[in-house]
Amino acid sequence: MARLDTTKELDFLLHETGKDSAFLLAQAVQEGVHLLFKRQVTEAYINKRIDRSQVLLLLGSEELDQIDYAWQSVENDIAWGLGSA
C-alpha cells in the first residue's frame, strides 16, 4: 500500500468531506487514541497484565472474542510449526 504524506491525506479529506481541518484533526486524534487504547488493552491481556473481565469492560464481548480467536490462531500456528520441524 502506498504511503501518502499526511498533508496530502488531510487535503484529500478536506476536499472530499467538505469539513474544516479543525474538525477532521479532532476526529483523527479521537480515532487514533481509540485505536492505541485498543492495541494497549489487547497487549496487556495477551501478556496477562489484565484479565478477561477487564477486557470485557473496556472493549466489550465482540472485541474480546476477536482477540481470543486471533490469539488461539497464533498459538495453533506455532504448535503446528514446532510439530513439523
The pLDDT value given to residue 1: 59
Asked if residue 57 has pLDDT above 60, the reply is yes
Map grid coordinates 487535503 to a residue.
11
- Confirm whether 24 is domain-assigned: no
Give the number of domains in the chain: 1
| Cα distance between residue 38 and residue 64, in whole Å | 10
Query: Among candidates 41, 32, 49, which has minimal Cα distance to 66?
Result: 41
The pLDDT of 27-31, averaged and rounded, is 96
Report CA-CA distances (Å) from 7 to 11, 17, 22, 36: 6, 15, 14, 21
Full residue range of the structural domain in which residue 44 is found: 29-84
pTM of the model: 0.78
Would you state the cell numbers that stand for residue 83, as one nine-digit string?
Answer: 510439530
Q: Is residue 22 part of a domain?
A: no
